[in-house]
Structure 1
């Protein structure tokens, strides 16, 4: 069973940060100093699979709009629908006035975000040594 919840307790945030450390710093070799920023202004989410911490993500308000960030699922839980549940939960959690919603998607994750009506905008770019495209939510 997949659950995704907005978390604020330090014990839950520790789980979120550990998942991000495993996936981004460990697997993807992202520099740790780039991984830990804007934590205090972000709304953090923890995904569990059968009550085991499995994924993490966040959103935050920027000068441009609402940015979805740091979506990751631990390797042993991939392919179970956790990322889709995280995207839907985060979108449902945004304020009603969230009119511009965007993210920077790793190339492999673009098909996931496309399912939610995000479209690529602008040129491909590198962030933390990984190729990305900015994607913007197209509202119906």
Structure 2
């Protein structure tokens, strides 16, 4: 049985591993401009997924003027389909402060199904972010 764990990042070494996952997925695979990828890092709470102690996924959340935004969900290509996105999402949701009433994210179209299973619903129309189509999704149930 594979050992999957999601850790809340505590140091630079773990953060560098999360950034390496994000760079591979967003900058290299999806051709996102690097300058768009590396913003708001200091005020974010970061997470790293490890499968058999190998970094395989990453994400973060941060407080914005609108509420709590979940961001930068990335799973390395060779690890997709192993429930890592679900584990990341569950870890982030359980880490949010108890006063987090407005929880939202910008989902790539092909990831919307994952978020909808956790109570998120699309709000508004489709839009482009970093050259990729997205929908804003808001958590509707607790």
CA distance in 2, matches of 1:25, 1:11: 20
1:77 corresponds to which of 76, 79, 86: 79
1:100 corresponds to which of 102, 110, 114: 102
SS of residue matched to 1:26: helix
CA distance in 2, matches of 1:63, 1:114: 23
In the alignment, structure 1 segments of 5+ residues that lack a partner are none
Deviation of the 1:93 alpha carbon: 0.2
Number of residue pairs matched by the alignment? 140
Which residue does the alignment assign to 1:51? 53
SS of residue matched to 1:40: coil
Which residue does the alignment assign to 1:28? 30
Which residue does the alignment assign to 1:129? 131
Q: TM-score, normalised by structure 1?
A: 0.99
How large is the RMSD of aligned CA atoms in angstroms?
Answer: 0.6
Q: TM-score, normalised by structure 2?
A: 0.97
Deviation of the 1:139 alpha carbon: 1.8
Which residue does the alignment assign to 1:41? 43
In the alignment, structure 2 segments of 5+ residues that lack a partner are none
SS of residue matched to 2:127: strand
Which residue does the alignment assign to 1:116? 118
SS of residue matched to 1:11: helix
Displaced runs of 4 or more, over 4 A: none
